[in-house]
Chain A
Amino acid sequence: MAGALVAVPITAVAAAAVDGGGPASSAGPAGTDVVSPDGRLDGLDFDGLVRFTWADGSGVHTARLPVQGADGVVRVGGPGGAHGVEWPAGAGPLPSLSGKYHTTEADGPAVAGRPTTALHLSSGSGSSETLALDQATGLVLARAELDPGGAVVRSMEFEALTLRRSHAPGTPVRPSALPTAKAAPARLSSEYSEPSQLANGYQRVRAESVSGGLRVIYSDGVHGLSIFEQPGHLAGARGSSRWVGGEVVTWQAGPTVFTVIGDGPSTDVTAAARSIPQPHQQGLLGRLRSWSREVVDTISGSH
């Protein structure tokens, strides 16, 4: 069983820790990982119970959520419904942590009865977080995000974890039944903006079409950030708000309504949103060109 659950992204986390000058992993799970050729976890499933805590203006809240990992899909359930995501995600490698974070690594506390390696991440914004990685599998068993003042913003910790072998290593797993995102058009009209990188180390991972617009996904190696772009006029005022998963910023720029959602520190998300270049307001000719391109793309099936 040892080492069988390590996923590619966690391997990247461990490697980044070394890149950042921290001591070498005491457990060294990455070198003994068993990962199937398509990158999915091979041979082991898990069930567990996770305690999720978050703080907002009304205080600190806690929820306990069942989690499950099977056949390369991680699912999280709870009152809000069950959600699943392929893991590791098929979007390619995430950005290296070393570009943004200073990382240190040490022996961590036991979580759900399992020994861990603690990975401490800090960035120039003053926020920091600590991840406890299962020494045998590399699974993140606990995580705490702290604001610059050291207060916990969000935390996650396994209270129980059961690993089981579901099939022999090397056995192909069945294809995931999760819905797949629709890729963005190869050529975007000037109403949209998808810079390859944003402030505070966010790098573009991929873009996809969503109802009524475009979503561009970014990552800094740990946190994700989504830009939702909708052509039109923002009904209502621009603004920012916090939700249980992070920060939301909405504003109008040129002919487009932007909504940025990030799960990183509030200051990072705001700075990244400010670094998005404003799309050009199209004249009649530009709109005609965009429309013609859309028609051609639709006819040629490149959408």
Chain B
Amino acid sequence: MSGVPPAGGRPGASGADGHLGDGLSSLLDGELSSAEMAAAQRHLDGCSTCADELDEVERTRQLLRGLDPPKPPEGFVPGLLLRHRRLTFFVAAVSMIAGVVAALVFMLISPREDVTPPVNRFERIHATSTPSPDPITEMAPAGVAPSTVP
């Protein structure tokens, strides 16, 4: 570790002042190799400033570990859920309206279907279900015309 000054206290490698500096955090976090760790340990043995700073950093960390996790502000979570619900409803409503509008537009502008009147069927309907004072003559055409048979 180039950032760990050699034992004996030669200032320099890590901080501009020759102390461990940020190397202390690496040491506490176990990020140093065994050689670097040994070098740092040798520096600490001879440098009361870095040893005190290491103690300070370690205490601070322990203090922080003992604190409760931060809590969100009052109403933050319900507000977040409410916003999520509103967004979901909005998206669903817009999708539904878009679908209905698309169906309406399709229905309204779609061209009329071609119609071929089923004349034979109409003739049979007329002959067999038109009120008449003479139903026999009215129905006779349906009885004689094979083309009127469904």
Using CB atoms and an 8 Å cutoff, list the residues of chain A in contact with chain B.
Answer: 7, 9-10, 12-13, 50, 52, 54, 61, 63, 65, 67, 74, 76-85, 87, 89, 91, 94, 131, 140, 143, 154, 156, 181, 205, 210, 212, 215, 217, 219, 221-224, 226, 228, 230-236, 241, 243-246, 248, 250, 255, 257, 259, 261, 263, 284, 287-288, 291
Contact = CB atoms under 8 A, between A and B. Distances in A.
A130 to B, nearest CB: 12
Contact of A65 (B115, B125, B144, B148): B144
Contact of B130 (A54, A84, A217): A217
A230 B115 contact: yes
Contacts of B139: 74, 76, 83-85
B143 A83 contact: yes
B35 interface: no
B136 interface: yes
A154 B137 contact: yes
B131 A89 contact: yes
A257 B130 CA distance: 21
B123 A261 contact: yes
B107 interface: yes
Contact of B144 (A78, A143, A232): A78
Nearest to A287: B108
The 8 closest A-B pairs by CB, nearest first: A245-B141, A224-B130, A78-B143, A232-B115, A9-B133, A89-B131, A235-B114, A63-B144
A84 to B, nearest CB: 8
A52 B126 contact: no
B63 interface: no
B119 interface: yes
Nearest to A258: B117
A153 B33 CA distance: 120
Given A224-B126, A243-B141, A212 B133 contact: no
Contact of A261 (B107, B126, B133, B144): B126
B143 to A, nearest CB: 4
B70 to A, nearest CB: 56
Contacts of B137: 52, 140, 143, 154, 156
A276 B138 CA distance: 23
* Interface residues of B, dominant DSSP: helix
17 contacts: A9-B133, A50-B136, A74-B136, A83-B128, A83-B143, A87-B135, A140-B133, A156-B136, A156-B137, A224-B138, A226-B130, A232-B112, A232-B115, A241-B119, A245-B126, A259-B117, A284-B109
Nearest to A244: B141
Contact of A291 (B107, B119, B127, B135): B107
Nearest to A143: B137
A85 B133 contact: no
A94 B107 CA distance: 41
Contacts of A83: 124, 127-128, 139, 142-143
Contacts of B138: 85, 224, 245, 263
A250 B132 CA distance: 23
B134 interface: yes
B123 A80 contact: no
A29 to B, nearest CB: 14
A219 B112 CA distance: 31
B145 interface: yes
Contact of A10 (B130, B133, B146): B133
B117 to A, nearest CB: 4
Interface in B16-54: none
Nearest to A226: B126
Nearest to A233: B112
Nearest to A263: B138
B104 interface: yes
Contact of A52 (B119, B125, B131, B144): B144
Contacts of A241: 119
Given A224-B138, A245-B141, A80 B146 contact: yes
